[in-house]
């Protein structure tokens, strides 16, 4: 059975200043999503599910509806504030989505096989998809066998401002021990720091492995996520901004002995769009890949 790919595209791109998910960056106006889907299908994924906000459905389908209808088995699900476990209601003061773990959970009814999760605005490259597809397609794969493709922090920064990354602690067998989410990582005077809300700086090693939200899961991940989602929603002090992230669920599963997470390496180079200024670099990289014959032009 071919694995499924879930693409998280519900973010509104607040720092970017627009719907970066539908911004044309390739030589023929291709989006980063186009390249991710193209790479995923040829790597062995059988279906693609987009998690979006209902408010961007029209713009999203204008771009991708006809483009994928013939060549890709795809569907969309919505991540909305009121999509919560039974007997839990959305606080009236809530304004933003509940986070990446919730975004994955809303797709649970559409997935019946091992699956991968990626961001819509990150370019991961074919080798990354192929590496994970091979693991998720194994006939002996069991519940609780998770995967993450790791990247070096130094190669994942933006020169335009701070970024969020999950710092990984890995054992000698390349299994994830824990992951810590840093939400304001920035290069300052040649060094890399995470800067907290009080302005305190923690220096980070540029060679450390970080998560770029390229995960592989078995279906039990949905059940684990729902359990933690209930705990989170019943216990958060800040109902206006607090979020629950995928690494939170992975950490808990590892700590409770319910799962392992193998950290995989890739020969692909990551790049992405967080700020408007990142666009020039991404356009240039996609142009070079096309000229070098890595991708056809146009892509579809």
Domains of the chain by range and CATH? 4-291 (3.90.550.10)
- The whole-angstrom separation of Cα 65 and Cα 50 is 12
The answer to whether the predicted template modeling score (pTM) of the entire model surpasses 0.75 is yes
pLDDT value at residue 75: 92
Answer yes or no: are the C-beta atoms of 81 and 97 closer than 8 Å: yes
- The whole-angstrom separation of Cα 63 and Cα 184 is 31
Specify whether the backbone of 4 is left (phi greater than 0), alpha (psi in -120 to 50) or beta.
beta
Q: For residue 104, which of 208, 237, 9 has the smallest C-alpha distance?
A: 9
DSSP state of 18: S
pLDDT value at residue 143: 96
Bridge partners (DSSP) listed for residue 166: 181, 211
pLDDT value at residue 216: 98
- The whole-angstrom separation of Cα 222 and Cα 235 is 20
Q: What is the pLDDT of residues 253-284, one digit of tens each?
A: 999 999 999 999 888 889 988 888 889 999 99
Answer yes or no: are the C-beta atoms of 226 and 101 closer than 8 Å: no
User: pLDDT below 70 — which residues of the chain?
Assistant: 11-22, 69, 236-239
pLDDT value at residue 101: 95
- List of residues 6+ apart from 37 with CB closer than 8 A: 5, 7, 48, 68, 72, 74
**What are the CA-CA distances from residue 87 to residues 77, 82, 242, 263 (Å)?**
21, 11, 20, 36
DSSP-assigned states of every residue in 189-211 = TTEEEEE-TT--EEEE-TTSEEE
Q: For residue 76, which of 67, 63, 62, 65 has the smallest C-alpha distance?
A: 65
pLDDT value at residue 23: 77
């Amino acid at each position: 059975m071919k694995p499924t790919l879930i693409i998280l595209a519900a973010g509104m791109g607040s720092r970017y200043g627009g719907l970066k998910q539908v911004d044309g960056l390739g030589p023929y106006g291709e989006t980063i999503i186009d390249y991710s889907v193209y790479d995923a299908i040829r790597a062995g994924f059988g279906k693609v599910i987009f998690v979006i906000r209902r408010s961007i459905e029209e713009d999203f389908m204008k771009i991708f509806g006809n483009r994928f209808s013939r060549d890709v088995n795809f569907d969309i699900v919505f991540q909305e504030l009121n999509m919560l476990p039974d007997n839990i209601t959305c606080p009236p003061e809530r304004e933003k989505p509940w986070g990446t773990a919730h975004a994955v959970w809303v797709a649970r009814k559409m997935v019946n096989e091992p699956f991968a999760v990626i961001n819509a605005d990150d370019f991961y490259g074919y080798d990354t998809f192929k590496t994970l597809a091979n693991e998720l397609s194994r006939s002996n794969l069991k519940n609780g066998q998770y995967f993450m493709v790791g990247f070096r922090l130094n190669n994942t920064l933006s020169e335009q401002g701070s970024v969020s990354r999950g710092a990984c602690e890995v054992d000698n067998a390349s299994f994830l021990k824990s992951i810590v989410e840093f939400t304001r990582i920035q290069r300052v005077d040649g060094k890399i720091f995470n800067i907290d809300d009080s302005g305190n700086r923690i220096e980070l090693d540029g060679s450390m492995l970080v998560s770029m939200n390229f995960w592989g899961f078995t279906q039990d991940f949905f059940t684990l996520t729902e359990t933690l989602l209930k705990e989170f929603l019943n216990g958060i002090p800040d109902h206006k901004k607090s979020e629950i992230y995928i690494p939170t669920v992975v950490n808990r599963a590892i700590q409770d002995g319910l799962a392992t997470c193998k950290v995989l390496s890739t020969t692909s180079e990551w790049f992405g769009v967080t700020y408007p200024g990142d666009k020039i670099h991404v356009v240039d990289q996609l142009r070079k890949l096309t000229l070098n014959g890595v991708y056809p032009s146009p892509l579809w």
